[in-house]
Amino acid sequence: MDLFIDSASTHEISAWAETGLVTGVTTNPSLLAKSGRPVHEVLKEICALIDGPISAEVTASDWGTMLREAEVLRAIHDNIVIKVPLTKDGLKACYHLVRREIPVNVTLCFSAAQALMAAQAGATFISPFLGRLDDTGVSGINLVRDIAEIYQKGEYGTAILAASIRSAAHVEEAAKAGAHVATLPAKILEALYHHPLTDKGLEIFEADWKQTGQSIL
């Protein structure tokens, strides 16, 4: 399973690009608003930081305007993936964009039926929102499992991009449930490194090594 960063902060993205662990970026209108910067400028800088799929979301609600926005966003860089909402107009825009060989990420997916529709429309990625679904008392991980089963049986080419990830456990479970990608905020990416036994083990190694008085260098 690939790891993407869910952010519109060039500072965060640049730090994670250096690790080589992150192969793509997802943004959304809320994240771009939080950056407080002009959208075209931020997206251009993000594309220069990571050479992989960079999702940029349309903001119109009708499919005709979505297609026009998509054109402007795609002019920024070839790696831009057009993110459309899982609405009737969003899926119509998806169908027309894919026919023009433009990659599409269908976002705000909360049911397997919605994911099936997105795959039928030819989506490159489907983004089930795990954390937001969990908040309603319905398991986000079960949704990923259901989508994976449906896509496998129907032999769809749409990749499952687990979104709205809230914990390291979410990441592990999404990978086991069949997600192809998980997009994580920087703080969850950071949490993936940590385990108390790693810290404790390191403390012991350091103390034992100190006692030898040796140095490798």
Residues at the interface with ligand E4P (CB under 6 A): 6, 26, 28, 107, 127, 129, 131-132, 163-164, 183
Integer Cα distance of 95 and 89 in angstroms: 10
Phi then psi for 18, rounded to 5 degrees? -65, -25
* Residues belonging to the active site: 83
Bridge partners (DSSP) listed for residue 6: 26
Inter-CA distances, 138 with 85, 107, 112, 184, 198, Å: 20, 18, 12, 20, 33
Residue closer to ligand E4P, measured from CB, 79 or 183: 183
Residue closer to ligand E4P, measured from CB, 178 or 195: 178
- CB of 183: closest distance to ligand E4P in angstroms? 5
- CB of 4: closest distance to ligand E4P in angstroms? 8
The position carrying tokens 């952010």 is 7
- CB of 139: closest distance to ligand E4P in angstroms? 15
Residue closer to ligand E4P, measured from CB, 52 or 131: 131
Bridge partners (DSSP) listed for residue 24: 4
- CB of 86: closest distance to ligand E4P in angstroms? 12
Integer Cα distance of 56 and 103 in angstroms: 11
Structure tokens at 175: 């990978």
Residue closer to ligand E4P, measured from CB, 169 or 202: 169
Phi then psi for 39, rounded to 5 degrees? -55, -45
